[in-house]
């Protein structure tokens, strides 16, 4: 069994659930966080049965500012030490900037940025004091460039990328490591909730199974890598677009987020996830 306890947010579905699976199959005790307790309990029961690991669940909505402190206090009260913090929870909304309700934009900021900051501010000082710890932040290839029709989401992930890199430098003289996981299009409920299943980003792009993204994220974290960009196409995309102007990147991404033509509407959410088995 691995002695490093991992706290994973957004752990009841998508990349977060598969990250939890990766940690569980490597023997890590888990603390799983998501809004719906019944979903967390289902995931926890599977991991306990299949992997024999200790799993604690905490049902909290991280958009509520009190939630992060409540998580920290509950774990402290029960003597649970978090060795690995996985800031994975996040979501996005597609649309023109002036048409998306302000509440939707602020929701992305609260979950994708504020909750990440709050949890890290609570758990990082303990890691520094103990002289051990790891942080995995789920960013995105979206963080490397502007994204018209998905503007606030891209901006939140740009924050996560920049902040992760700066934090890693601040921690260079400590044993604490920071890793930013930067997936591209991934077959999760993210696309459904963001109203993007019909977009070119899902229908015509190179879409990865969340199991593969989670495996790459776990391995990169354990290797102390700063950036993890899963998939050859995503690596090439990031490299190529770094030499383009910001305007050129923005125009390419706008096309990416528009709906694909009827002839390309062939994929369904879950096709890639269901077809993939991770040993």
255 inside domain? yes
Whether 189 contacts 13, CB under 8 Å:
yes
pLDDT over 90 for what percent of the chain? 77
| Cα–Cα distance, 235 to 141 (Å, whole number) | 9
213 inside domain? yes
Q: What is the pLDDT of residue 153?
A: 98
Q: What is the pLDDT of residue 53?
A: 96
More confident position, 243 or 135: 135
CATH number for 26: 3.40.50.720
1 inside domain? no
Residue 140 reports pLDDT greater than 50: yes
Q: What is the pLDDT of residue 1?
A: 64
pTM of the model: 0.94
Identify the burial level of 225 via C-beta atoms within 10 angstroms of its C-beta, where 0-12 means exposed, 13-18 middle and 19 or more buried: middle
183 inside domain? yes
85 inside domain? yes
Query: Total domain count for the chain?
Result: 1
pLDDT in tens, 195-222: 889 998 899 888 999 999 999 999 999 9
Residue 240 reports pLDDT greater than 80: no
Residue 84 reports pLDDT greater than 50: yes
More confident position, 109 or 259: 109
Sign of CA dihedral 23, 115, 221, 5: negative
Residues marked as catalytic: 153
Among 92, 140, 137, 143, CA closest to 119: 137
Whether 72 contacts 127, CB under 8 Å:
no
105 inside domain? yes
Strand-pairing partners, residue 8, are 32, 86
Whether 53 contacts 31, CB under 8 Å:
no
Domain with 72, as residue range(s), is 6-275
Among 148, 149, 134, 128, CA closest to 181: 134
Helices 14-25 + 210-222 axis angle, to 10: 50
């Amino acid at each position: 069994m691995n002695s490093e306890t991992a706290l994973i947010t957004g752990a009841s579905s998508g990349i977060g659930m598969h990250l939890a699976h990766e940690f569980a199959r490597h023997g890590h005790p888990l603390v799983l966080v998501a809004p719906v307790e019944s979903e967390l309990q289902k995931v926890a029961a599977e991991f306990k049965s299949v992997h024999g690991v200790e799993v604690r669940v905490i049902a909290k909505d991280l958009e509520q500012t009190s939630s992060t402190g409540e998580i920290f206090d509950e774990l402290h009260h029960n003597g649970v030490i978090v060795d690995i913090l996985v800031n994975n929870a996040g979501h996005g909304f597609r649309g023109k900037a002036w048409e998306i309700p302000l509440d939707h934009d602020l929701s992305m900021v609260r979950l994708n940025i504020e909750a990440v900051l709050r949890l890290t501010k609570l758990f990082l000082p303990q890691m520094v004091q103990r002289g051990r710890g790891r942080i995995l932040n789920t960013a995105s290839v979206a963080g490397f460039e502007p994204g018209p029709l998905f503007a606030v989401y891209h901006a939140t992930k740009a924050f996560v990328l920049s902040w992760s890199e700066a934090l890693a430098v601040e921690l260079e003289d400590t044993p604490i490591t920071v890793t930013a996981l930067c997936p591209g299009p991934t077959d999760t409920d993210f696309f459904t909730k963001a109203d993007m299943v019909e977009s070119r980003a899902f229908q015509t792009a190179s879409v990865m199974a969340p199991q593969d993204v989670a495996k790459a994220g776990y391995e990169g974290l354990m290797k102390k890598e700063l950036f993890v960009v899963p998939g050859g196409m995503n690596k090439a995309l990031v490299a190529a677009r770094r030499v383009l102007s910001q305007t050129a990147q923005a125009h390419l991404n706008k096309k990416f987020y528009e709906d694909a033509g009827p002839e390309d509407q062939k994929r369904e959410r879950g096709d890639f996830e269901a077809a993939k088995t991770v040993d």
